[in-house]
Amino acid sequence: MSRLQGKVAVVTGAGRGIGRSIAEVFAKEGATLVATGRRGEDDFESLDGSISYAQLDVADKAAWERTIADVVAQHGRVDVLVNNAGIINYEPLHDLDVDGWNEVLAVNQTGTWLGMRTVVPHMLAQGRGSIINVSSIWGNAAVGGAHAYHATKGAVRNMSKNAAITYAKEGIRVNSLHPGFVATPLTDSQDADVNAYVVSQTPMGRAGTPEEIAYAAVYLASDESSFMTGSELVVDGGYLAQ
């Protein structure tokens, strides 16, 4: 229950789904947790009282600067950033228009870069930090359609490796986390046939839970993973092993 004791952590897209679970499990493990999010449908009111909330659209550079400055002013440091916020667009590449492409890139890829861009100077000054970037099995492999989503998740995977190498000697670890199919509001709103197909192709034959992803993030955030950087932690019921 204290794997993250003493750590100040920021999680994006923490109002629901995987991000919500990461926030709750991190707090349970002793982290001082700042849950951030953007949308009206997110439910921050029901979060445990020990978790604070900040409004943050991850595509907004000024909002990042405000949020992280507030975290550091209030808590003195930022030890962990989980870049979790993400959106999907299902269009195959020939149907995708420039607006759809840009929207997905702005959140999934630019948002991840801006998050790292904002916390790294603080982590450099501290001489330590752990950044966890949520990619996907679609950052390593593919199904048809959702071209922009695949593009961003592949980018997140390699941005993480580049950041890991750039800051390896400065005490900042950067790893990507690759969930397989997880039951969340995002996947609930997808075509049921597509969901059933992905589950049927998953060796364990079931969807993962947000908590199963959250505990992998706890490992990456904690000092238990102190020799781990530039890695891809895959949590997918065996999907990518095939």
The residue among 124 and 183 lying less far from ligand NAD, judged by its C-beta, is 183
Q: Are 205 and 149 in contact (CB under 8 A)?
A: no
The residue among 56 and 172 lying less far from ligand NAD, judged by its C-beta, is 56
DSSP calls for the chain: --TTTT-EEEESSTTSHHHHHHHHHHHHTT-EEEEEE--TT---TTS-TTSEEEE--TT-HHHHHHHHHHHHHHHS---EEEE---------TTT--HHHHHHHIIIIIIHHHHHHHHHHHHHHHHT-EEEEEE--GGGTS--SS-HHHHHHHHHHHHHHHHHHHHTGGGTEEEEEEEE-SB-SHHHHTS-HHHHHHHHHTSTT-S-B-HHHHHHHHHHHHSGGGTT--S-EEEESTTGGG-
Smallest separation, CB 186 to ligand NAD (Å): 3
Smallest separation, CB 35 to ligand NAD (Å): 10
Where do we find the tokens 């679970």? Answer: 21
Smallest separation, CB 181 to ligand NAD (Å): 5
* Of 5, 24, 126, residue with least CA distance to 68: 126
The residue among 76 and 205 lying less far from ligand NAD, judged by its C-beta, is 205
Smallest separation, CB 59 to ligand NAD (Å): 5
Q: Please list the active-site residues.
A: 149
Residues that bind ligand NAD (CB under 6 A): 12-13, 15-19, 37-39, 42, 56-59, 84-87, 107, 134, 136, 179, 181-182, 184-187
Smallest separation, CB 182 to ligand NAD (Å): 4
